[in-house]
A and B are shown apart, each in its own frame.
Chain A
Amino acid sequence: MNIDKEYVTRIASLARLETSPDQAEKFAAQFRDIIGYMDSLNLVDTTGVEPFYSPSENISVLREDERRATCRRREILANAPRHDGEYFIVPKIIQR
């Protein structure tokens, strides 16, 4: 994988992070180290091995469809930087 400054900038923008050119350069090197290390795992031949998603495979965990109120609205809103007691308030979402 070619991890350069542009790649880092794109990943950062997907995560809504700003990066300066210097930072992008620095992180590109660090990314290369980390992902390069991971890449060595790709050397293992996994032909015919099913991907392993979870340590608790073969267990179906389901809940019954029961309706229950577990929280009060003011508790849910309490951590929001801004609300009016009913809605979360956020900066205008840029739309057409």
Chain B
Amino acid sequence: MSDYETIIGLEVHAQLKTLSKIFCSCSTQFGNDPNTNTCHICTGMPGVLPVLNKKAVEFAVKMSLALDCRVNPRSVFARKNYFYPDLPRGYQISQYEEPLAEHGHIKILSGKQEKDVGITRIHMEEDAGKSIHSPSEGLSYVDLNRSGVPLMEIVSEPDMRSPEEATAYLKALRSIMRYLDISDGNMEEGSFRCDANVSIRPRGRQEFGTRTEIKNLNSFRNVQKALEYEVARQMDLLEDREDVIRETRLFDPDKGITVSMRGKEEAHDYRYFPDPDLVPLLVDRDWIEKLEKELPELPMARQARFMSQYELPDEDAQVLTSERDLADYFEECVKLYQQPKTISNWVMTELLRELNQAGTGIRESNLSPQLLTGLLRMVDDGTISNKIAKSIFPEVFAQGVDPVKLVQDKGLTQISDSGALEGVVDEVIRDNPDEVRKYREGRKKLMSFFVGQVMKKTKGQANPGLVNAILNRKLG
């Protein structure tokens, strides 16, 4: 174990899945032509008034409740002042001294270890626009479609002690957001962004070391890589008796290193003050109770239920409940066919592989619960072997064809007629006298060779249990 302890706190910005922007009725649709999702309000024309989107508030409150936060009955929007061409007003509307919610926590699972991570605060704010730089022309192009898209910022306590825990935390947050259907949680597309505060301290010491802030973490893998690099860098500094400088560092995904932004960063002085254009946001008890009732069963609770109700191992339960759609799918399958572990095995291996390869979600796929359970039933009643089932699965998945019909059409029904199989076994014994002799001399491992030969001759359709029994009997 290292002599140092790692301390990580994370700030997550998640885009809320509303139809319209946070303070105006412009579309939040991603990928529209530049500057077509804009109006006087989100481009910062003088004299316009922002009006808060109710749905954005409800989404952020739901997240706050899911993270056991105290939702403040009154919160205030503030102006964060800085200049950048993608911020047309010269200030971002955010929340500062009085955020929407505070003092929550989330359970994370890192390895087999369950752990509680504190949530400092959740607040709402607007996104900025996007700029494209053209160094050759000495120009930048600004698109304000994203300006005013609603964001929720979730700030954690410095409770994480390793890059693995940081990644587990992010995955847990993302999973909850997707269960609540309030954010896509897509890091690559930028609807889920993360900055990390990292420091280390000699094990056993109480005070925190000097921290650095790492930006530009745009995938779960990069979060892990960047944090590992940064921790190692800080350890090297301390080992060489040098100081860690408090600064912002940018992760360079190509080189896998963090680079100082020192000198390139303005001294931050945001001069926050309450935005006089917006009245304080009031969230009363009734509203909170109504939203509380709308909360679905959340991933951790569902995982625990899957383990007790379906008697699944924790690994199965964790994978199946990580996405709400997948968990729903599993439960629909179990209703049709009461073999949870068999279904789980198939979902976790065959189905997830096909989904990953197709780059699609279960809800968009052609594989209905009826089709999957139909296939599994055929294995169960001996109509087809497990091997045949696996071999036709990709076709069932891709085409959505009825596996029962597919098996009939292709003549894949398992040969469970011992008379027919005995003939094949006899042939195999006759054709392989050397192996038979070695087997009888004690090379019992050759059994799999004989089974393989029978399978080859029957194109995989022989009932493996029966083949084994017949071979055992004939080879003595």
Contacts and interface: CB of A to CB of B under 8 A. Distances in A.
Contacts of B39: 69-71, 76
A62 B85 contact: no
A66 B51 contact: no
Nearest to B41: A70
A63 B19 CA distance: 12
Given A58-B282, A63-B51, A96-B264, A88 B144 contact: yes
B73 to A, nearest CB: 11
A95 B135 CA distance: 10
Interface stretch (A18-26, A27-35, A36-44, A49-57): A49-57
Contacts of B279: 54, 56-57, 59-61
A45 interface: no
Given A86-B35, A88-B144, A93 B85 contact: yes
A79 B46 CA distance: 12
A73 B32 CA distance: 12
A79 B278 CA distance: 26
Given A54-B279, A65-B18, A65-B19, A14 B54 contact: no
Given A88-B35, A92-B135, A93-B140, A65 B250 contact: no
B276 interface: yes
The range of chain A's interface size is: 35 or more
A59 B278 CA distance: 11
- A54, A71, A77, A89, most chain B CB atoms within 10 A: A71
B26 A65 contact: no
Interface in A63-94: 63-71, 73, 76-77, 79, 84, 86-94
A53 B274 contact: yes
A16 B269 CA distance: 13
A65 B55 contact: yes
B55 A90 contact: no
A90 B131 CA distance: 10
Contact of B38 (A54, A63, A73, A92): A73
Interface in B21-50: 24-28, 33-36, 38-40, 43, 45
Interface string B131-148: 111110111111110000
A73 B142 CA distance: 13
Nearest to B55: A65
A75 B24 CA distance: 17
List 10 tightest A-B contacts by C-beta distance, closest first.
A65-B55, A87-B141, A88-B142, A62-B54, A68-B25, A71-B39, A67-B19, A60-B282, A90-B85, A67-B20
13 contacts: A14-B81, A51-B274, A53-B280, A54-B276, A61-B52, A62-B52, A65-B54, A68-B20, A71-B40, A73-B38, A87-B141, A91-B140, A92-B133
Given A57-B279, A89-B141, 6 more contacts: A73-B38, A89-B139, A90-B141, A92-B134, A95-B133, A96-B259
